[in-house]
Amino acid sequence: MKRRFPRPRDLAPLMKFKKPELNAKKRRLDGALTIWDLRTIAMRRTPTAPFDYTEGAAEAEISLARARQAFEDIQFNPGILRDVSKVDTSSTVLGGPVALPFGIAPTGFTRMMQSEGELAGAGAAAAAGIPFSLSTMGTTAIEDVKAANPDGRNWFQLYMWKDRDRSMALVDRAAAAGFDTLLVTVDVPVAGARLRDKRNGFSIPPQLTLGTVINALPRPAWWINFLTTEPLAFASLDRWSGTVGELLDSMFDPTVTFDDLAWIKEQWPGKLVVKGVQNVDDARKLASMGVDGITLSNHGGRQLDRAPIPFHLLPEVVREVGKDLEVHLDTGIMSGADVVAAVALGARFTLIGRAYLYGLMAGGREGVDRAITILSEQITRTMRLLGVSSLEELTPAHVTQLQRLIPRG
């Protein structure tokens, strides 16, 4: 083999160095290629108690693990030789446009995770053309969320309190602010046993103890932001000195029934979605009541451990009531491929909770933008590889749910 000394003009194309990124936050976020990567960054930058509140689930956390496993236990069935040069990820949900088949789920105590909180989520949702959902336990006022997303779609999530007047006062504020959809969450008659929070002594607001101070030392940015921004305030109450579990138990009403839901429906002027449906019979009853949609959800695994897996329920529920109302889905979604699988099996829409919060904790508003970008790119790529160019082309034939947990006869 003949050899020669390399010439400078031959080396020049190989010697181009990537321009260094001097912005540390941008460098971190650009390096995150998956939601799991954002989670790793979030864990490094967030004190244990708020991170565990986001990360954790009820009791042994089996419900959450199973929900995530269900998305892994699928087989995609692609078609070939289709023109997928252009892919349309938009659709119509509850009578309005969405640019992507997912929105931001309602999350409580969001400014506890990162000081920008719901305003970062609402702003990112507005930029992406997707709905933002504000929780009853949110830490930003209804009117401020509207100001952050003035022209986009805002949804309000309602827990029915024992104090009905206080609950409906929030509903009235949401309607006056132009929120177009009410998500009534029905799977919280009492708070689930979130053992991480109990072990951490997670309270509202956080208490400075020797343990929290030691834990904060490698995470000074979180504490600086927390202590130098507006004190934590809630959409629904001013302050609470106990643990999160005690707060929830003081508010949630175990007497709520279908009659209460009908009463709420009569008073709400917009679209009404019932969140927390976990069996086919309840889905049928809600369809007969004329609600606009249901969300199959086990509350991110944070209520009943060993609860049904929403993704497994999806095909049967869609067969039973999919022509009568919209079927949405949450719990366990950690990638755009998960979203595509849910849409293929009949979900009109999905909601992301932890995936959004990992981005928020990793980098505030920019982190939420990055989470949405990651999911959007994964959705588009998965659709192209399946051979579909629009969400309407996705069908159950594109997904096979592989069996792991089979009920005994």
- In whole angstroms, what is the distance from residue 182 CA to residue 272 CA? 5
Interacting residues of 80 by C-beta distance below 8 A, sequence separation 6+: 387
Average pLDDT over residues 331-356: 97
Output helix, strand, coil percentages for the chain, rounded to the nearest 5: 45, 15, 40
Residue 1 lies in a domain: no
Run of H or E residues at 295: strand 293-296
Whole-angstrom CA distances from 312 to 114, 346, 378 are 33, 12, 22
Label residue 163 by pLDDT band (50, 70, 90). confident
pLDDT value for 271: 97
Label the pairing between strands 399-401 and 74-76.
antiparallel
pLDDT value for 208: 60
Residue 18 lies in a domain: no
Is the pLDDT reported for residue 38 higher than 80?
Answer: yes
Run of H or E residues at 326: strand 326-329
Question: In the chain, pLDDT over 70 holds for what percent of residues?
Answer: 92
Q: How many domains does the chain have?
A: 1
- In whole angstroms, what is the distance from residue 375 CA to residue 125 CA? 13
Q: Give residue-wise pLDDT tens across range 199-223.
A: 887 766 666 666 766 777 788 888 7
- In whole angstroms, what is the distance from residue 179 CA to residue 264 CA? 15
Residue 16 lies in a domain: no
Give the tokens for residue 267: 């008073």
Question: In the chain, pLDDT over 90 holds for what percent of residues?
Answer: 67
Return the exposure string of 143-176: e unless at least 16 CB atoms fall within 10 Å of the residue's CB, then b: ebbbebbeebbbbbbbbbbeeeeebbebbebbbe
Residue 108 lies in a domain: yes
Q: Give residue-wise pLDDT tens across range 268-319.
A: 999 999 999 999 999 999 999 999 999 999 999 999 999 999 999 999 999 9
Average pLDDT over residues 164-190: 90
Name the pTM for this structure: 0.91
Residue 405 lies in a domain: no
Whole-angstrom CA distances from 253 to 286, 339, 376, 381 are 20, 32, 38, 44
Average pLDDT over residues 249-275: 88
Average pLDDT over residues 193-200: 84
Cβ proximity of 342 and 314 under 8 Å: yes
Is the pLDDT reported for residue 247 higher than 70?
Answer: no
Q: What is the identity of the amino acid at 328? A: H
pLDDT value for 66: 96
**Residue 328 a catalytic site member:** no
Interacting residues of 382 by C-beta distance below 8 A, sequence separation 6+: 76, 336, 337, 340
Residue showing tokens 């912005």: 23
Burial class (CB in 10 A: 0-12, 13-18, 19+), 278: buried
State the CATH number of the domain containing residue 153: 3.20.20.70
- In whole angstroms, what is the distance from residue 88 CA to residue 23 CA? 33
Half-sphere exposure in the Cβ direction for 140 (13 Å, CA): 28
Residue 86 lies in a domain: yes
Cβ proximity of 361 and 114 under 8 Å: yes
Cβ proximity of 102 and 353 under 8 Å: no
Burial class (CB in 10 A: 0-12, 13-18, 19+), 358: buried
- In whole angstroms, what is the distance from residue 206 CA to residue 201 CA? 9
Half-sphere exposure in the Cβ direction for 255 (13 Å, CA): 5
Mapping DSSP onto H, E and C, the string for 109-131 reads: CHHHHCCCHHHHHHHHHHHHCCC
pLDDT value for 222: 82
Pick from 348, 356, 303, 352: nearest CA to 113: 356
* Crossing angle between the packed helical segments 117-128 and 354-386, to the nearest 10 degrees: 20
Residue 274 lies in a domain: yes
The average confidence (pLDDT) of the chain is: 90
- In whole angstroms, what is the distance from residue 321 CA to residue 344 CA? 16
Half-sphere exposure in the Cβ direction for 342 (13 Å, CA): 33
Least confident of 101-110, 220-229, 257-266, 272-281: 220-229
Range of the domain at 95: 27-394
Cβ proximity of 258 and 164 under 8 Å: no
Judged by DSSP in three states, 305 sits in: coil
Is the pLDDT reported for residue 249 higher than 90?
Answer: no
Judged by DSSP in three states, 366 sits in: helix
